[in-house]
């Protein structure tokens, strides 16, 4: 049965706490990779040990599912952390004011009588 754990940490500690989770996940992935490497030898023996290979593969599949969940948790935690940092940055930065130029429209062209007539010649 999988349960969610929740605990509090200082904002500055979030990256290092997630790093610890990722580190332990990497170690467990390395273990499962070693176990899966054994499947090759189980299957290449003179009398292939298919049942053991199946058992190791099934275990690896279940374990990878747990690791996937853990990595999704890390992603979620870091996404929340990034959102908090972004909100803090917006609160601290001065509001941007738009500077409008004196002339916001294109100048109108005016024609004087006769200015558009060409001299024939």
Determine the average pLDDT of the residues in 99-120.
54
- Domain assignment of residue 61, yes or no: yes
- Domain assignment of residue 56, yes or no: yes
- Domain assignment of residue 73, yes or no: yes
Which range of residues forms the domain containing residue 71? 11-91
- Domain assignment of residue 36, yes or no: yes
At 43, list the tokens.
């299957």
pLDDT in tens, 50-80: 998 999 999 999 999 999 999 999 999 999 9
Which pTM was predicted?
Answer: 0.67
> In the prediction, which pLDDT does 112 show?
52
- Domain assignment of residue 69, yes or no: yes
- Predicted confidence (pLDDT) at residue 105 exceeds the cutoff of 60: no
- Domain assignment of residue 101, yes or no: no
Instruction: Give ∠ CA 30-36-38 in degrees, rounded to 5.
Output: 115
- Domain assignment of residue 45, yes or no: yes
pLDDT in tens, 18-35: 999 999 999 999 999 998
Cβ 21 vs Cβ 5: under 8 Å: no
């Amino acid at each position: 049965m999988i349960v969610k754990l929740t605990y509090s940490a200082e904002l500055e500690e979030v990256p290092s706490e997630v790093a610890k989770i990722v580190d332990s996940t990497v170690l467990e992935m390395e273990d499962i990779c070693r176990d899966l490497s054994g499947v090759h030898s189980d299957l290449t023996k003179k009398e292939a040990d298919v049942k053991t290979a199946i058992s190791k593969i099934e275990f690896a599949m279940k374990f990878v599912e747990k690791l996937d969940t853990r990595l999704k948790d890390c992603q979620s935690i870091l996404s929340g952390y990034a959102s908090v940092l972004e909100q803090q940055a917006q609160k601290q930065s001065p509001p941007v004011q738009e500077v409008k130029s004196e002339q916001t429209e294109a100048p109108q062209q005016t024609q004087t009588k006769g200015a558009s007539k060409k001299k024939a010649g």
